Chains A and B, each alone.
Chain A
Amino acid sequence: MGESNEDIDQMFSTLLGEMDLLTQSLGVDTLPPPDPQPPRAEFNYSVGFKDLNESLNALEDQDLDALMADLVADISEAEQRTIQAQKESLQNQHHSVSVEASNFSGAASLGYGANVTATSVNQYEDDLPPPPADPMLDLPLPPPPPEPLSQEEEEAQAKADKIKLALEKLKEAKVKKLVVKVHMNDNSTKSLMVDERQLARDVLDNLFEKTHCDCNVDWCLYEIYPELQIERFFEDHENVVEVLSDWTRDTENKVLFLEKEEKYAVFKNPQNFYLDNKGKKEGKDTNEKMNAKNKESLLEESFCGTSVIVPELEGALYLKEDGKKSWKRRYFLLRASGIYYVPKGKTKTSRDLACFIQFENVNIYYGTQCKIKYKAPTDYCFVLKHPQIQKESQYIKYLCCDDSRTLNQWVMGIRIAKYGKTLYGNYQRAVAKAGLASRWTNLGTVSTAPPAQPSTGLKTGTTQPNGQIPQAAHSVGAVLEEARRHVETAKDKKPALDNHHDAGVPRAHHAAKSSLVPPPPPVRRSSDTSGSPATPPKSKGTGGIVPSTVAKKPPMPPKRHENPGPPSGGGSGEQDFMSDLMKALQKKRGNMS
């Protein structure tokens, strides 16, 4: 299928590829905090993208209408006419949009012609860790044309496929992107383009590629609320844009990229969380060290059973009273279903416990310097609040522990109760990533995390931690193997998707996705398997090696100006490309009717 509209699809993909290149280079190029960066708030909503998106929304709906109409077109002649009308209006709209779109892309990358070959474009697609998807590209999705040679059944099948594809595209078209300024631990910052489907894991992978860090599991995205004096790490399965969307526009909040050993402490030393205080006979000293085998079996017991075991945790904590700066000492217990406390005059038996908070709607944060700000008894505070609350409020709960050990136990315990197996999955992925990174840097390639995998993580993450259907648990040892397989499948998956609209391109080329921004030309693909360290992992270094396509990178500065502002000033060179596209589209429509 898809032969008749191959040319269009190629053009789509070309444009798509360029947009990706643009996006990519944007991130890389703003690497040293550049002057032309507009003096905005800490993180910018990239207005350009947003407005465009919004302006396109209405049209997309109609595009879909047309699609639906097309589905039932065969049924009645009368309907046929309305479709025609719709199509006409659609075309009109396409014109107006294409102007907008071309304006944008024109502004973004002047001088990019349609002469970029389709093959390299597909590599671009694969290169970007998130599926690229720029709104306007998906827009002019044509109603499925009749296949000249095929049977009716095949036609129907093709149509169904196209509709599916169209729906996918439509979904992609609504993707929101943010430019996020990430603070590095050397006080520099990096600006990243984050699309709304990206998880913290993807963003971390992105950052790994942009920095020369060792990719170990402790690296995390960290959000800081200076106003509330709270902070926490993003869980790897969390959707970054979703979290950032809760911030107010004038926020002082920051995103940091740093190492925190607390992030996965439980998986490195499970005994500190699971065996602490349990048996008095086994003193703390004996618990500190545990051999790897025992650790593994403890982890397996705790995380790989039908349900995750939440560490038994109880003890007296200080609770800040609502709206006051006084702290009350209460006896708290952690259970899988929430935090409980022992009411006055009651015992610790389960049915007497009073529920303090359940975890569905709150995130856990570390409180910093609560001693000064809230007169906390110690500085070891943790805070529970709904992610959307951004200012001081009685709905934010502050708890204070006696020492940092207890604090870490509580924070980790709550995370285990809240996220369950997802947390372990995150860790395994992080380990795989770190392992791969150290393994593969020798080969000069850094793999991008397969987007498919993390998204399943998200899915399970939204369910209750204890409510998960048991999955086959991976032992840590097998993770590396697993990860390698993921990379393989990711390679396979992508092309499969592409095939929908791009049957002409040989599949083999997709495999060369491992290097980042500038895609190696198809010939050099073999290096991937042969293991020659031809492609350095960092995008910067490749500039010289890769011919033709990368040579086009230099005209960068203009788009940096354009990006935050509304799209304006169309590049005439691009216009040609777009009109080619429109012509092809119309030709296709002609075939249809």
Chain B
Amino acid sequence: MLSSSDFSSASWELVVRVDHPNEKEQKEILLRVSGDLHIGGVMLKLVEQINISQDWSDFALWWEQKHCWLLKTHWTLDKYGVQADAKLLFTPQHKMLRLRLPNVKTVRLRVSFSAVVFKAVSNICKTLNIRRPEELSLLKPSGDYFKKKKKKDKNNREPIIEDILNLESSPTISGSPVSPGLYSKTMTPTYDPINGTPVSSTMTWFSDSPLAEQNCNILAFSQHPQSPEALADMFQPRSLVDKAKLNAGWLDSSRSLMEQDIQEDEQLLLRFKYYTFFDLNPKYDAVRINQLYEQARWAILLEEIDCTEEEMLIFAALQYHISKLSLSADIQDFTNDSEVDEVEAALSNLEVTLEGGKADSPLEDITDIPKLADNLKLFRPKKLILKALKQYWFVFKDTSISYFKNKELEQGEPVEKLNLRGCEVVPDVNVAGRKFGIKLLIPVADGMNEVNLRCDHENQYARWMAACILASKGKTMADSSYQPEVLNILSFLRMKNRNSEFQVPSSLESMDMNPECFVSPRCAKRHKSKQLAARILEAHHNVAQMPLVEAKLRFIQAWQSLPEFGLTYYLVRFKGYKKDDILGVSYNRLIRIDAVTGIPITTWRFANMKQWNVNWEIRQVAIEFDQNVSMAFTCLSADCKVVHEYIGGYIFLSTRSKDQNETLDEDLFHKLTGGQD
């Protein structure tokens, strides 16, 4: 049979190289084929000739010169145009890829190199348990991106490999020891260790995900904050033009990885590309929310997006809160959970009893509102007596503070009674200086009454501060949030302590945290560490009671509220202009921005868009809007397909309906973003 085809006039020799999984070298195999042989037949022949029994099902033919896969097995060689000079490669369609996730963790997993990127990302997201994969894509970083990163790795004690979570092989290999965490695979709600609220988030949206539970936790829990040095190392201030360069690397969603010259085991970034996050649901989206939070966090820490100082502090407070909650969840898992609780409870009980206050056990009279009474120092800035701290006997009851000349006069009229409802509470703390002040701005009919209290030590401070904070919200110390608040403040003080010599041995102490890890290096530089800590603490009061997922969502929302949120920049040349401009692409609009000053010049909203066209010849994107407004530009910092796909992608995303069960209309996506070939 073989001989007959040998001598047929239409037959010729085809050279196929074979990627053999077990051998380093590629083997070349010579096949005698004819033009009417279909691809399936070629592969069959090939496997016969190789004569190694193994599963070849994932293998497919790759045509090197044309840079394409020969995937349609019923097509003949003639139809594909394959001739004797063609160099074919018989290679697995799925290959390993290293993906850096938004949380700067790298995972290694097997990805299809033959499916279009859109599809490949869908599958990756399925593996990682991220819903709504259309919002993500792969970004090929520009050359110097990882160089910067490597420098940082040298500072770290671990080699890079250690950092990578291998999702392909057995999950037990993974570097960090983890245990089933807050989220359970079964739908049973678990409980947040800090405030006891049920955290019913279930990780596995895709039940068939190969992801082991412990790996889920790595993806769903926020990472411990980076050291400020590492942060500074990663940090590089970028101009709009720099940012535009970064955005050139988005892969083409309608072509495969192989077609875009992605090598096996190459490192790519998996990022949320489109800034419309559809239907974030804490119930299913533990990984998605966490990764989103991480992407937002890094964007802010590395100043990829600008914010004001006040906003930076809110972000810092939320980060602190989140990392603390994540960590205490971890600790809870490692140690016996009751252990920590008991210690803490005993500690606080002891504190309370030592101070002569009342420990509130639940069976005690629930209507008995606990009170605090102690000697504190007071000073009022308005009085001309400069900085004179005077000691009084203070009694905190309900939501008000009364003070007396001394303890004996407690039954009589107080010197003054301050109702704290609605007041502003500002910490005035310097741990190293042993200064524990509470500044109260109490609104009264004719302005603000400013009162400064000074405590002697941190325990006293924590209790009074917590009481003040609760009272300002109209709550008394009977409220269940009082004890957590006290502990919160104490643990925060300990964080600040790290810089000084005081070391309070504590489980939370293992946190490698100092205030600088929560703000961008530029912001950290502007403040002294202690100042910064005090201000973060101040902002922290507003978020201290939030459960973990809510805090992350809050972070994401605050990020979304930034004016520059969701803008992706490209360097373009508008038709009819001589100067290069920046084009900002956002989820609802395009903005033309002056490249030098960064001032927005014109805004076009997608809502007003009538149609857009791409002239592939001259690589120009032309868009028409209502009221005969039109514009056209060529993209300088990236291929015009990238920009075109960005715009089309946003329009695609806006077509999504609220219906949960809706399957992704992949065709529509390609219709809106493709069109080149």
A residues whose Cβ falls under 8 Å from a Cβ of B: 61, 64-65, 68, 72, 248, 275, 278-282, 286, 294, 297-298, 301, 305-310, 312, 335-338, 340, 348-351, 353, 355, 358, 360-361, 386-395, 464, 466-470, 472
Contacts and interface: CB of A to CB of B under 8 A. Distances in A.
A107 to B, nearest CB: 30
Interface stretch (B15-23, B63-71, B85-93, B597-605): B597-605
Contact of B446 (A297, A306, A391): A391
Contacts of A278: 603
B557 A467 contact: yes
Interface string B551-573: 00110111011111000000000
Contacts of B522: 351
A468 B607 contact: no
Given A350-B306, A390-B446, A469-B282, 19 more contacts: A68-B366, A248-B445, A279-B603, A282-B627, A306-B556, A307-B558, A312-B563, A335-B561, A337-B308, A348-B599, A350-B308, A351-B308, A351-B309, A353-B308, A355-B308, A361-B422, A389-B446, A395-B443, A467-B554
Given A279-B603, A337-B310, A389 B561 contact: no
Contact of A307 (B366, B447, B560): B560
Contacts of B314: 337
Contacts of B448: 386, 389, 393, 395
Interface string B58-76: 0000000000000000000
Contacts of A387: 422, 443
Contacts of B261: none
Interface residues of B, number: 52
The interface centre, meaning the residue of B279, B424, B554 with most chain A CB atoms within 10 A of its CB, is B554
Contact of A337 (B311, B363, B523, B603): B311
Contacts of A360: 542
Contact of B447 (A281, A297, A298, A393): A393
A305 B276 contact: yes
Contact of B306 (A65, A351, A394, A468): A351
Contacts of B602: 279-281
B542 A464 contact: yes
Contacts of A390: 445-446
A128 B424 CA distance: 37
A308 B553 CA distance: 13
Nearest to B559: A307
Contacts of A282: 627, 629
B558 A337 contact: yes
Given A305-B276, A350-B564, A389 B445 contact: yes
B338 interface: no
Given A279-B602, A349-B598, A360-B542, A337 B561 contact: yes
B306 A388 contact: no
Interface in B119-160: none
26 contacts: A68-B365, A281-B602, A305-B276, A306-B553, A306-B557, A335-B308, A335-B561, A336-B558, A336-B562, A340-B308, A349-B306, A350-B311, A350-B563, A351-B307, A351-B312, A353-B309, A386-B448, A387-B422, A388-B444, A388-B445, A390-B445, A395-B448, A467-B553, A467-B557, A469-B550, A470-B280
Contacts of B558: 307, 336-337, 466-467
B367 to A, nearest CB: 4
Interface in B203-240: none
Nearest to A392: B446
B191 interface: no
B277 interface: yes
A386 to B, nearest CB: 4
B588 interface: yes
A586 B179 CA distance: 59
B243 to A, nearest CB: 14
Nearest to A385: B443
Interface in B431-456: 443-448
Contacts, number: 136
B271 to A, nearest CB: 18
Contacts of B627: 282, 286
B448 to A, nearest CB: 5
A461 to B, nearest CB: 14
A301 B653 CA distance: 13
Given A294-B607, A464-B542, A305 B367 contact: no
Contact of B277 (A306, A351, A395, A466): A306
**Which of B280, B303, B447 is most buried by chain A, counting CB atoms within 10 A of its CB?**
B447
A68 B282 CA distance: 37
B560 A305 contact: yes
Contacts of A301: 588, 607
Nearest to B472: A361
A559 to B, nearest CB: 32
B308 A395 contact: no
Interface in B291-336: 303, 306-312, 314
Given A335-B563, A355-B310, A388-B444, A281 B629 contact: yes
Contacts of B312: 351
Contacts of B277: 306
Contact of A65 (B367, B560, B588): B367
Nearest to B281: A470
A97 to B, nearest CB: 17
A351 B447 contact: no
Contacts of A389: 443-448
Contacts of B282: 469
B373 to A, nearest CB: 21
Interface in B613-664: 627, 629, 658
Nearest to B277: A306
A282 to B, nearest CB: 7
A566 B309 CA distance: 55
Name the residue in B279, B308, B558, B599 with the highest tally of chain A Cβ atoms < 10 Å from its Cβ.
B308
B571 to A, nearest CB: 19
Given A248-B445, A391-B446, A469 B523 contact: no
Contacts of A294: 607
Nearest to A394: B447
Contacts of B598: 349
Contacts of B553: 306, 467, 469
A72 B363 CA distance: 9
A307 B563 contact: no
Contacts of B588: 301
Interface string B445-476: 11110000000000000000000000000000
A393 B563 contact: no
Interface in B332-355: none
B552 to A, nearest CB: 11
B422 A386 contact: yes
Interface string B576-616: 00000000000010000000001101111101000000000
A297 B445 CA distance: 43
Closest 8 CB pairs of A and B: A393-B447, A336-B561, A350-B306, A391-B446, A388-B443, A390-B445, A307-B557, A386-B443
A395 B280 CA distance: 40
Nearest to A393: B447
Contacts of A308: 561
Interface in B364-378: 365-367
Contacts of B557: 306-307, 466-468
Contacts of B446: 389-393
Given A353-B308, A389-B448, A61 B603 contact: no
Nearest to A302: B588
A221 B398 CA distance: 32
Contacts of B366: 64, 68
A453 B283 CA distance: 24
Contacts of A391: 445-447
A389 B523 CA distance: 34
A284 to B, nearest CB: 13
Nearest to B550: A469
Name the residue in B280, B365, B605 with the highest tally of chain A Cβ atoms < 10 Å from its Cβ.
B605
B523 A351 contact: yes
